[in-house]
């Protein structure tokens, strides 16, 4: 079993560094050697563990991106509280690159979605599936929030979920490289404004 451990460790290193560089420079703009040089590994080592560059990236999607999106954007939705502040907080969190100097995971989805769209059906559909799961969870939380009297009855929960996702993904194109604090603040503020308009407003007791 010692062998298996070594294998796992090398694959893990490859995936981690791969995501870092793919995210920074784009998948098609990054050669395997770019990554292998950084890790002092060879083509031989790479193809011993992965059957192709595509297979490699699918591993990265499934093992790293999916996990991170779930942790940042989907699991926080599993709550019984008022949905709107919870959603705000999860988005604020996901857009914050400051946490432990980590990568800005919030940005990856839109980047990769756009890059693989029309070019690699397999990867593209896996990324869309992530968005889809997110949307389903948003909708279900919003509907619960409606039942609990946090959200106005007239609201179209699917439409709201779509709008949240669109604005979130779109922030990526605006923020670009610069982790512009001003833009993030504006975004969150307007989201709150919007949420205020779909919240149920009870008569003060």
Would you tell me which residues interact with a second copy (CB under 8 A)? 24-26, 28-29, 109-111, 113-115, 117-119, 128, 131, 156, 158-160, 162-163, 165-174, 176-177, 183, 186-187, 189-191, 193-194, 196-198
Distance CA 161, CA 73 (A): 13
Largest Cα span, the chain: 71
- Interface region with DNA, contact rule CB under 7 A, candidates 36-44, 107-115, 125-133, 137-145: 36-44
**48, 99, 128, 181: residue in contact with DNA (rule CB under 7 A):** 48
Phi/psi for 89 (5° steps) reads -65, -40
Q: Quick check: 10 binds DNA (CB under 7 A)? A: yes
**How far apart are CB 126 and DNA at their closest, in Å?**
17
Angstrom distances, CA of residue 87 to CA of 53, 74, 118, 157, 183: 35, 10, 31, 13, 18
**31, 67, 186, 196: residue in contact with DNA (rule CB under 7 A):** 31
**How far apart are CB 119 and a second copy at their closest, in Å?**
5
Contacts of 71 (CB under 8 A, 6+ apart): none
Question: Please, which residue, 6 or 100, has the CB nearer to DNA?
Answer: 6
Phi/psi for 77 (5° steps) reads -80, -10
Picked from DNA, a second copy, none, the partner binding residue 153 (CB below 5 to 8 A depending on kind) is none
Question: Please, which residue, 10 or 114, has the CB nearer to a second copy?
Answer: 114
**Contact by Cβ (8 Å): 105, 69:** yes
Angstrom distances, CA of residue 134 to CA of 3, 29, 76, 77, 137: 37, 28, 11, 9, 5
**How far apart are CB 52 and DNA at their closest, in Å?**
4
Distance CA 110, CA 169 (A): 5
Picked from DNA, a second copy, none, the partner binding residue 146 (CB below 5 to 8 A depending on kind) is none
Site string for DNA, 52-81 (x = CB under 7 A): xxx---------------------------
Query: Total residues contacting DNA (rule CB under 7 A)?
Result: 23
Sign of CA dihedral 104, 54, 166, 86: negative
Which residues of this protein are in contact with DNA, per CB under 7 A?
A: 2-4, 6-7, 10, 30-33, 40-45, 47-49, 51-54
């Amino acid at each position: 079993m010692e062998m298996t451990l070594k294998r796992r460790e090398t694959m893990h290193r490859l995936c981690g560094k791969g995501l870092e560089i793919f995210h920074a420079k784009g998948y098609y703009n990054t050669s395997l050697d770019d990554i292998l040089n950084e890790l002092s590994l060879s083509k031989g080592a790479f193809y011993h563990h992965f059957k192709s560059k595509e297979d490699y990236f699918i591993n990265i999607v499934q093992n790293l991106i999916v996990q991170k999106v779930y942790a940042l954007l989907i699991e926080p939705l599993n709550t019984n509280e008022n949905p709107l502040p919870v959603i705000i907080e999860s988005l604020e969190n996901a857009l914050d690159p400051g946490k432990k100097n980590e990568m800005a995971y919030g940005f990856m989805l839109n980047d990769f979605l756009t890059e693989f769209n029309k070019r690699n059906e397999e990867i593209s559909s896996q990324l869309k599936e992530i968005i889809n799961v997110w949307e389903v969870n948003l909708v279900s939380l919003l509907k619960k929030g409606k039942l609990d009297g946090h959200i106005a009855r007239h609201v179209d929960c699917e439409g709201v979920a779509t709008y949240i996702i669109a604005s979130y993904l779109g922030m990526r194109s605006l923020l670009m490289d610069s982790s512009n604090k001003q833009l993030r603040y504006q975004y969150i503020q307007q989201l709150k404004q919007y949420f205020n308009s779909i919240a149920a407003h009870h008569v003060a007791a």
